[in-house]
Amino acid sequence: MTAWDALAARRAAIPVLAPGTVWLAGAGPGDPGLLTLDALAGLSQAEVIVHDALVDARLLALAGEKARLEFAGKRGGKPSATQADISQRLIALARTGARVLRLKGGDPFVFGRGGEEAAALAAAGIPFRVIPGITAGLAALAAARIPATLRGVNRAVIFAAGHGADENFDWAPLVRARAPLVLYMVMHNLERITAALMQAGLAADTPAAVIASATTPQERILIATLQGLAAAVREQKIDPPAIVVIGEIVKMRERLLSETASLESRQSS
């Protein structure tokens, strides 16, 4: 019995992607090991896969042989499809009777406009299903050995976008919450947002980290203070996509790394 058969037996049935249906699935942060089994089932059954730029090529390689890939993100200066175009495309594909997988990086409902696509499908009467994915904000922290919550340190964590329609976003209430900040899409506004956080009362020496291309072969991790973060990113030429995390939880990385190193040296001696 293969692992796939064993899974099918355990679950009673692998979910079926029916003709005329759209699955709105999260692809996780990049590493194929972090794809869910349901998203994998979607990849193997879909006739059309509409994907974003942040969906790793190693995952698309898992598509069924007959699947057609359609790119729906931004690429190389070419005008990108609008959100309305993408939603209309999903509706049109489903109406042809195709089995459609809409594959988005991370989780489809976290800073991914999946909610808008689901609303458009619902309004058009298209049957759809939402398959969660591991969001970059959690995967990047775990990859960098930074616990998102740590007993005695924080009992809340804040996910926020550093890029959006509202350039005058008020960061002060988030700073007052005294919870670590996990920021998506912040790299182009890092200087301005770190300054705004300090202005709102967050200490300049608060530990901070950038985790770029988490869980991919290009992964890079930078540790700094809130004050030094933007300059360090510039100096080390760290490119998006990246997650920025600011808070005491960042310190745990050093502790875990040094304890792992001393364990390894004890084992090898």
Choosing from 135, 154, 189, 194, the residue that interacts with ligand SAM (CB under 6 A) is: 135
Determine whether 187 is an active site residue: no
Query: Which entry of 31, 38, 52, 56 is annotated as an active-site residue?
Result: 52
Which of 22, 130, 140, 160 is in the footprint of ligand SAM by CB under 6 A?
Answer: 140
Is position 207 an interface residue for ligand SAM (rule: CB under 6 A)? Answer: no
Q: What are the backbone angles phi and psi of residue 124, rounded to the nearest 5°?
A: -85, 0
Q: Which residues pair with 221 in a beta bridge?
A: 211
Distances 68 to 50, 87, 105 between C-alpha atoms, Å: 9, 18, 18
Nearby residues of 232 by Cβ (< 8 Å), 6 or more positions away: 210, 222, 224
For this structure, is 78 an active site residue?
no
Determine whether 185 is an active site residue: yes
Residues from 241 through 260 that contact ligand SAM (CB under 6 A): 241-243
Give the residue from 173, 185, 186, 178 showing the smallest Cα distance to 157: 178
Q: Are 74 and 80 in contact (CB under 8 A)?
A: yes
List CB contacts of 128: < 8 A, sequence separation 6 or more: 21, 22, 23, 24, 118, 121, 122
3-state secondary structure of 85: helix
Which residue in 31, 38, 185, 187 is the catalytic one?
Answer: 185
> Which residue of 184, 202, 249, 253 would you call a contact of ligand SAM, by CB under 6 A?
184
Q: Which of residues 44-83 bind ligand SAM (CB under 6 A)?
A: 54
240 binds ligand SAM (CB under 6 A): yes
Nearer to ligand SAM, 98 or 186 (CB): 186
Report the C-alpha gap between 119 and 24 in whole angstroms: 11
How far apart CA 30 and CA 168 sit, in angstroms, is 32
The site for ligand SAM, by CB under 6 A, has a size of 25
189 makes contact with ligand SAM (CB under 6 A): no
When asked if residue 136 is in the footprint of ligand SAM (CB under 6 A), the reply is yes
In this chain, which of 86, 101, 175, 211 binds ligand SAM, going by CB under 6 A?
211
Rounded Cα distance between 218 and 212, Å, is: 8
Q: Work out how close the CB of 112 gets to ligand SAM at its nearest, in angstroms, rounded to a whole number.
A: 3
Cα angle, residue 24 at apex, residues 18 and 27 outer, rounded to 5°: 115
- Among residues 8 and 161, whose Cβ is nearest to ligand SAM? 161
Q: Pick from 90, 93, 98, 185 the residue near ligand SAM by CB under 6 A.
A: 185
**Contact between 104 and ligand SAM (CB under 6 A)?**
yes
Mutual angle of helices 114-123 and 83-95, in 10-degree steps: 40
Q: How far is the CB of 240 from ligand SAM (least distance, A)?
A: 5
Residue 110 binds to ligand SAM (criterion: CB under 6 A) = yes
Footprint of ligand SAM (CB under 6 A): 29-30, 54, 104-107, 110-112, 135-136, 140, 184-185, 211-216, 240-243
Residues that are catalytic: 52, 74, 185
